[in-house]
Chains A and B, each alone.
Chain A
Amino acid sequence: MNAGRGRGLAVYTVLFYIYLYLPILILVAFSFNSQRLNLAWEGFTLHWYDVLLADAKVGAATRNTLTVALFSTLIATAIGTLAALALHRYEFGLRRVSETALYIPIVIPEIVMGIGLLSLYATLKISLGLTTITLSHIAFSIPFVALVVRARLHGFDRSVEEAAMDLGANELVTFVRVTLPLILPGVLAGAMLALTLSLDDFIITFFTAGPGSTTLPLLVYGMVKTHITPEINALSTIWVLTVFVLLFIFQALQRRTPSAA
């Protein structure tokens, strides 16, 4: 790389990161500002964090979000892993149909899936709430889990399974003691993705939520739409910090697992 051009690119990249982070940093700074209007710096306060923690709506939304994410992640990870194993190892009649069905959610706008699910629940007269949100989250997570697990299955050495069977283990024992530990990093990566997608989802949740099932993204939307207060800044700050810490842990874990897996 030409030195001058390299320096130009470096400067450009630094500017890019400033652009990426400045809005978020200003948002975070103003969460500690004593002025209510979010306009100019007045003085340091933790008042908005007190307001946030005392807000019953925030507590309820956090519980809803975590409940949905827990069930959706567990079920989507199990189903998605089985699908990945099927597509990686077997030839069967439904293969093409399955590949297509798993590909569709990745290439259609989320809003279309959202209104489709809303129409489905309305037609079946299922009342909207945490159950409908969870069922929908599982639906959009399965393809991503399957995709991630399948990518990790490449290079899996089946001879270890054959060895276990030759030594007298049956299919179940072989799966639990040999296969699962070997594909676990992939399954965990898939689960992390499913968890994040569920925690973060706004669009599909927006169409499939009912009264009393407000999740955190829906709550933020409602707050931003009606009145801007530093309480949203405080909530956002905690959110960004959580993402930062989780990503840090995830990256550290990834670095420690051997890349062969």
Chain B
Amino acid sequence: MTAIGRAVRRLRESPALQGTGLILPGLLWMVVFLIVPLILIVVLSFGWRGEYGPVDWGTTPTEFLSRLSFSNYARLIDPLYMGVLGTSLRMAGLTTAICLVVGYPVAYFLARSSHRWRSLLLFLLLVPFWTNFLIRIYAWMLLLRTEGLVNRGLVTLGLIPEPLQIMYTPTAVMIAMVYEFLPFMVLPLYTSLEKLDPALLEAASDLYARSARTFLRVTLPLSLPGVIAGTILVFIPTMGMFVVPDLMGGARTALVGNLVQRQFLAARDWPFGAAASMVLMALTLAATVLYTRVSGFGEELVV
């Protein structure tokens, strides 16, 4: 029997080998284009900025390794950067909370509506969801300008004497971020509320539970997987957000994402940017782990 023949026979007889063969291309791709880059960022975060380039790799690998230090992390303890971290956490948390409160009733209505209405409303939710987020930001930039429609409307109605400066403030950033991420919250909420058996609600009301009580004791706990999935889907991208503050926040609203982006593309201090991104990732992962430990999630992510 030839070597190839033997190999084919071994493959036929070993499911473990077949599985490994099938996963190998995907696993290799993720290792090269995800795991290695992440390790690189970890190493960079302990490194030094080069005099002429974004990274000082040293003349030999040993020299590079011997000079690794925590100095980039020490720099982050500066009140300026701590303020940036605080702002990011606050804005991401607030965006997530507003999306949850605003989106929950809509998801509930969708889950309870008749089949025909439901598919139409769901379709109408997917259109903004899949529309490029820069377009949705641009729409709000047009509306919120000093001479934009919101200001002109308010002045015409006599509610304000002169146009407000909304653009380039934290308020503008919040308005755009909530608008951006609402569909990401409503969709997983809907998925979990849809599975809720109406008989349970009837049972609760038969047992003379008041509607507020039914909601708190039956509906909300059973929709928890959706709440968790939606929270994660909104919180993670808002924590790393740099585009909205960049376009609408002006110089006064900087988030960690802006800090990282500037170090990599403008200031060209990659090690410092890498350290900031490590802190960003640690904060995000900590929040995510905390949530997933409350309840497991998985299929809720597939919308």
Residues of A whose CB lies within 8 Å of any CB of B are 1-2, 5, 9-10, 12-13, 16-17, 19-21, 23-24, 26-27, 30, 38-39, 78-80, 82-83, 85-87, 89-95, 97-98, 101-102, 104-113, 115-120, 122-123, 135-136, 138-139, 142-143, 146-148, 151, 171, 196, 200, 202-203, 207, 216-217, 220-221, 224-225, 228, 232, 236, 239-240, 243-244, 247-248, 251
Contacts and interface: CB of A to CB of B under 8 A. Distances in A.
B27 A98 contact: yes
B49 interface: no
Given A111-B260, A236-B135, A240-B127, A79 B142 contact: no
B203 interface: no
B23 A94 contact: yes
Interface in B281-303: 281, 284-285, 288, 299, 301-302
Interface of B: 12, 15-23, 25-27, 29-31, 33-38, 40-41, 44, 54-55, 102, 105-106, 108-110, 112, 119, 121, 123-128, 130-143, 147-149, 179, 182-183, 211, 232, 236-237, 239-240, 242-243, 246-247, 257, 260-261, 264-265, 270, 273-274, 277, 280-281, 284-285, 288, 299, 301-302
Nearest to A1: B112
B285 A79 contact: no
A97 B147 CA distance: 54
Most buried by A among B126, B139, B211: B139
B191 to A, nearest CB: 12
A83 B18 CA distance: 11
Given A108-B281, A119-B37, A244-B127, A80 B138 contact: no
A40 to B, nearest CB: 8
B22 A108 contact: no
B139 A24 contact: yes
20 contacts: A2-B211, A20-B128, A92-B20, A110-B240, A112-B240, A113-B37, A116-B37, A119-B270, A122-B54, A123-B40, A139-B30, A139-B34, A147-B301, A202-B132, A202-B134, A207-B265, A216-B132, A224-B138, A236-B135, A240-B127
A246 B36 CA distance: 36
Contacts of A97: 27
A144 to B, nearest CB: 9
Contacts of B277: 111-112, 115
A228 B141 contact: yes
B26 A146 contact: yes
Is the contact region of chain A dominated by helix, strand, or loop, or is it mixed? helix
Given A87-B23, A97-B27, A108-B284, A20 B182 contact: yes
B18 A117 contact: no
